[in-house]
Structure 1
């Protein structure tokens, strides 16, 4: 891609002040604890957005965070990533601890974190007229000085091909539709190539086919040994793709486990304050959650 050399020079200039690049991450074995939250509490404006949350995610697992609006899903994802808006220095939770590969988040430097976990926020703004290829290539910034230009190019190409945005490479990001922008931003975090992937409502702007594509990608990453945490509103997608779900309500985890175990009519009806039916899919047996109308 002829846009990448320019981005490569920009990245090199950005990391030049660093005395030396961080050490390459060692990939953890499947089943290894990747992220752990211990009693995480986040308060803002006198209100507890999260209250004593305990959660563990392992390599090889896709965990879906679900729950009604305001339940604390995005706040929990931000706490797990070390980026709690308006919180203490370096994104620490107000109380409790978050560990990444058994090491507290504050003990990781930003460059070290960027090589180990990638985060797709719910909303992302781009202030400059970057092309799609340039924007996706920015995901390679943490790897500056650690791999060859060929490896960078291959990672960017694979991320764009996988998300179906390769044909948009030369387009300006600002000219894209909402769904196209969402897939480009996903491609950027995929190009970052980390073992832990955190996605905040990645399917919100997508049609059915692209929702399935995104969750298929997330599931495959987990099957390949990654640890994936994804915030979802669609309980059907969560049931179909997640190994485990954590249902949040009022800043607490109301239940967590396999979708077939925790997606019950009584629990979901209580959490969402709306009666539902939970039926097995006639072919796969995956729970289907249907609101009563």
Structure 2
């Protein structure tokens, strides 16, 4: 072998030496691959632990949030506090709870926070000292009959969405003559029967399918030619008859006989046919 200076090197490598070197390199590569695999397992396990911790923290925060909003009470239509400062609203809320709702022993420090919300500034969100005080206020809210003030529990975003759907079903069913009343944040009483949002959605889908099937059967049994675009939701229309001019054009031959190339035999046949017609 020759070195960089072009001189011949006395060290010669046999085939066995090269094979040993290849085996050594292969073993080193295998060790590196194993280290990378082990690192991937460690990273994956670490990521799984972090995800579990995040999920646990989210569940804990969600539970704490739901416990906190149980101490909140929402007061709607309280227009007399629109322009008042928070400390004045706090004092008026104590009077509302003690005088009008007749809850004894309410003090100003039992109201932890006051916030006026809403576009008209006539909605108050108050945080009370305990969920029990909130329940007492809601239970005695019938004493506010005749006023514009309405009390309600504070809800989470998910609970607000459920209540919104229940109110939508309530309006629809009330228009149909049903006796509807919200029992709580999850149930709607329809003719003294409790229903959840999922049950009401299921009944609505069944009613829609039944109505579609009955309308289809009535169209088939009537013997009248109707068609409906179910997917687009178009109204059922009567199919109009074709124009008479279009019918005449359809009856005409599409290709005239003169368009064909006639041979001598064909011309003789046509001339004999014309002569027979004349006689």
Whose Rg is larger?
2
User: How does the TM-score come out when normalised to structure 1?
Assistant: 0.24
Going by fraction, where is strand more abundant, 1 or 2?
Answer: 1
Larger RCO (CA within 8 A; separation ≥ 6) = 1
